[in-house]
Amino acid sequence: MNDIYSSQSFEGAFTYTGKDLGARYTLAKTVFRLWAPAADAVFVNLYATGSDEEKGTANLGHHAMQKDVNGTWIAVVEGDLKNLYYTYSVTRKGVTVEACDPYAKATGINGDRAMIVELDGTDPEGWENDSFTPVENFPDAVIWELHVRDFSIDASSGISQANRGKYLAFTEKGTVNSHGQATGIDYIKALGVNYVHLLPVYDIASVDEIKGGYNWGYDPKNYNVPEGSYATNAYDGNVRIREFKQMVKALHDENIGVIMDVVYNHVADAETFCFNKIVPGYFSRIHADGSYQANSDCGNDTASERTMVRKYIVDSILHWVQEYHIDGFRWDLVGLIDYETINAVMAAVHAVNPNVVFYGEGWEMCSWTTKDGYVDKMTIQNNADKVENFAFFNDTLRDLLKGSVFDNTEPGYVSGMAMNESDKTRLEESFLGQSHWGSANSLCPSPAQTVNYASCHDNNTLFDRIVLAAPNASYADQVKMNNLAAAFYLTSQGIPFIHAGEEMLRTKPDGKGGFDHNSYSSGDAVNSIKWDSLSDAAVMDTVEYYKGLMAFRKAHPALRMTSAAEVSANVIPMKTGDDYVLAFHILGGNGEISDGLFIAFNAKKEAAAVTLPEGKWEVHVNAENAGTTVLKVAEGTVTVDAIGAVMLVKTVKDA
Ligand code: CA
Q: What is the pLDDT of residues 234-257, one digit of tens each?
A: 999 999 999 999 999 999 999 999
Q: What 3-state class would DSSP assign to 648?
A: strand
Q: What 3-state class would DSSP assign to 385?
A: helix
Of residues 266, 377, 275, the one with CA closest to residue 5: 275
pLDDT band of 612, cuts 50, 70, 90? very high
Of residues 614, 478, 625, the one with CA closest to residue 646: 625
Nearest-10 Cα torsion for 95, 96, 98, 100: 80
Protein residues placing their CB within 5 Å of the ion ligand 1: 111, 203-204, 228
Q: Is the pTM of this model over 0.75?
A: yes
Q: How far apart are CA 553 and CA 625, in angstroms?
A: 14
Does pLDDT of 348 surpass 80? yes
Ligand 1 center from residue 268 Cα (angstroms): 11
Ligand 1 center from residue 259 Cα (angstroms): 19
Ligand 1 center from residue 322 Cα (angstroms): 22
Q: How far apart are CA 216 and CA 520, in angstroms?
A: 5
**For residues 268 and 274, is the Cβ–Cβ distance under 8 A?**
no
Ligand 1 center from residue 226 Cα (angstroms): 8
Ligand 1 center from residue 2 Cα (angstroms): 29
Q: Which of 315, 332, 399, 592 is catalytic?
A: 332
Q: How far apart are CA 254 and CA 256, in angstroms?
A: 5
Q: Which of 261, 327, 361, 503 is catalytic?
A: 361
Distances (CA, A) of 638 to 70, 583, 618, 622, 654: 70, 11, 10, 10, 21
Reply yes or no on whether 423 is catalytic: no
Does pLDDT of 654 surpass 50? no
Does pLDDT of 365 surpass 90? no
Q: How far apart are CA 329 and CA 332, in angstroms?
A: 9
Reply yes or no on whether 130 is catalytic: no
Count of CB atoms situated within 10 Å of the CB of 52: 11
| Partners of 599 in beta bridges | 584, 647
Does pLDDT of 595 surpass 90? no
Q: Per residue in 265-287, pLDDT tens?
A: 999 999 999 999 999 999 999 88
Does pLDDT of 653 surpass 90? no
What count of Cα atoms within 13 Å lies in the side-chain half-sphere of residue 172? 20
Ligand 1 center from residue 228 Cα (angstroms): 5
Ligand 1 center from residue 262 Cα (angstroms): 14
What count of Cα atoms within 13 Å lies in the side-chain half-sphere of residue 294? 10
pLDDT band of 592, cuts 50, 70, 90? low
Q: How far apart are CA 88 and CA 296, in angstroms?
A: 29
**For residues 50 and 58, is the Cβ–Cβ distance under 8 A?**
no
**For residues 451 and 261, is the Cβ–Cβ distance under 8 A?**
no
HEC string of 609-632 equals EEEEEEEEEEEEECCCCCCCCCCE
Q: Per residue in 209-221, pLDDT tens?
A: 999 999 999 999 9
Lowest mean per-residue pLDDT among 136-150, 280-294, 406-420, 437-451: 280-294
Ligand 1 center from residue 304 Cα (angstroms): 23
Residues 642, 647, 653, CA angle at the centre, nearest 5°? 140
Kind plus residue range of the DSSP H or E element containing 423: helix 421-431
Ligand 1 center from residue 12 Cα (angstroms): 35
> Which residues neighbour 303 within 8 Å (Cβ) at sequence distance 6 or greater?
2, 5, 6, 282, 283, 284, 285, 309
Angle between helices 339-352 and 307-324 (to 10 degrees): 30
Q: How far apart are CA 246 and CA 171, in angstroms?
A: 7
Q: Are strands 195-198 and 41-47 parallel, antiparallel or unpaired?
A: unpaired
